[in-house]
Amino acid sequence: MAGEQMKPVASLLLVLNFCMYVIVLGIAGWAMNRAIDHGFLIGPDFNLPAHFSPIYFPMGNAATGFFVTFALLAGVVGAASTISGLSHIRSWTVGSLPAAATAATIAWTLTLLAMGFAWKEIEISRRNAKLRTMEAFLIILSVTQLLYIAAVHGVRRPT
């Protein structure tokens, strides 16, 4: 399959990935807000906890802070990459391919990084349902974003 046949596939994957990145942003934003509101305070009369992490989250485990931080980054970059993706799908030319493919690849690598922390969080265990949902979305996004990258390369050079 090449040329115009990949355009509907790329469009579908772009919309699907955008929706999933927005959901990831919503859950990660909730987790970050909760960590800021309910994190611990260290004052002059307090000692550091035995297992102190500079990224402390009251829910989840030791990997949660890193997972949420990189999920936020992946979500923002992934959602923003849809702008160049929409432009590429609209024109569907070789000239619009580099911007769309580059933005999608950067979003995919950040998604893979967040997915790695998701696997670590799963391995450690003890997390709530919202974090498990975000883990599932990032694992699915790591596959669908790669499929989208392959689909946008379906543009044929003019002969």
Distance CA 84, CA 137 (A): 22
Which residue in this structure is represented by tokens 């040329």? Answer: 3
- What's the confidence (pLDDT) of residue 63? 86
Whether 72 contacts 25, CB under 8 Å: yes
**Residue 94 scores a pLDDT above 80:** yes
The predicted model scores a pTM of 0.86
The domain limits of the chain are 1-38+58-153
**Residue 55 scores a pLDDT above 80:** no
- List strand residue ranges (DSSP E) for the chain, in order: none
Distance CA 154, CA 146 (A): 13
CATH classification code of 1-38+58-153: 1.20.120
Confidence of residue 39 (pLDDT cuts 50, 70, 90): low
Which has more pLDDT, 61 or 134? 134
Tell me the residue type at 54: P
Helix boundaries (H) for 43-96 = 64-91
Sign of CA dihedral 123, 125, 127, 129: positive
Distance CA 83, CA 103 (A): 9
For residue 108, the Cα-to-chain-centroid distance in whole angstroms is 7
Q: Say which range, 52-66, 74-88, 106-120, 129-143, has the weakest mean pLDDT.
A: 52-66
Tell me the residue type at 150: A
